[in-house]
């Protein structure tokens, strides 16, 4: 089998049944294969990102067919970047505290300033049991540079957590 072209699809539209089915049908019709995806419904909007493989001679056809979904779904297609090995150690971050503006900005700036990459980030707000109000929760998979001591990162994040009045846990990824 000849080399395949990896494409990243971003998907956005009003949520309704069958959106993923329509996209997957187009990928399959063009001889492609669905490799990975993260899909979600946020405030009635369907949003997703998918990695697909398609034969090089079918990329143009796939782009055209996906553009045909424009009546229900905005799709962008980007050729995937090469997969360079990630240098560093993987860590898992869990954060929870009362919701307030600026939590994501503060945490992500602290990570970026230390050269830490975010591989995955999931956030949510949930009703606080018994206390009332909203709790903000974040779970992230991170890659810390080899030269950054985990203890140093932990101290910096704990200091920030005290400022934000949130609980934060940093552990090695399994």
User: What are the tens digits of pLDDT across the range 47-92?
Assistant: 999 999 999 999 999 999 999 999 999 999 999 987 666 689 999 9
DSSP letter for 133, please: S
Q: Which two tokens stand for residue 133?
A: 């109000």
Question: Per-residue pLDDT averaged across 125-137, rounded?
Answer: 87
Q: Give first-to-last CA distance, the chain, whole Å.
A: 34
Label residue 4 exposed, middle or buried (CB < 10 Å: 0-12, 13-18, 19+): middle
DSSP assignment string, 8-23: EEEEEEE--TTHHHHH
**pLDDT score for 29:** 97
- Residue 1, pLDDT > 60, answer no
Residues of each domain in the chain carrying CATH 3.30.70.260? 5-79, 89-172
Class of the domain covering 89-172: alpha beta
Question: Per-residue pLDDT averaged across 30-50, rounded?
Answer: 96
Q: Could you tell me the fold of the domain covering 5-79?
A: Alpha-Beta Plaits (3.30.70)
Under a CB-based contact definition with an 8 Å cutoff, are residues 52 and 35 in contact? yes
**pLDDT score for 64:** 97
- Threshold 0.85, pTM exceeds: no
Q: Which two tokens stand for residue 111?
A: 């990570």
């Amino acid at each position: 089998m000849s080399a395949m072209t990896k494409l990243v699809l971003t998907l956005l539209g009003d949520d309704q049944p069958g959106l993923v089915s329509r996209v997957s049908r187009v990928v399959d019709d063009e001889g492609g294969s669905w490799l990975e995806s993260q899909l979600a419904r946020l405030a009635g909007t369907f949003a997703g990102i998918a990695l697909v493989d398609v034969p090089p001679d079918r990329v143009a056809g796939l782009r055209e067919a996906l553009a045909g979904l424009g009546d229900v779904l905005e799709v962008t297609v980007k050729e995937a970047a090469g997969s360079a090995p990630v240098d560093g150690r993987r860590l898992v971050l869990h954060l929870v505290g009362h919701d307030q503006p600026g939590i994501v900005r503060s945490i992500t700036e602290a990570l970026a300033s230390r050269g830490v990459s975010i591989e995955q980030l999931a956030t949510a707000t949930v009703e606080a049991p018994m206390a009332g109000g909203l709790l903000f929760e974040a779970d992230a998979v991170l890659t810390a540079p080899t030269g950054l001591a985990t203890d140093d990162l932990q101290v910096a994040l704990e200091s920030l957590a005290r400022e934000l009045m949130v609980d934060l846990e940093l552990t090695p990824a399994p």
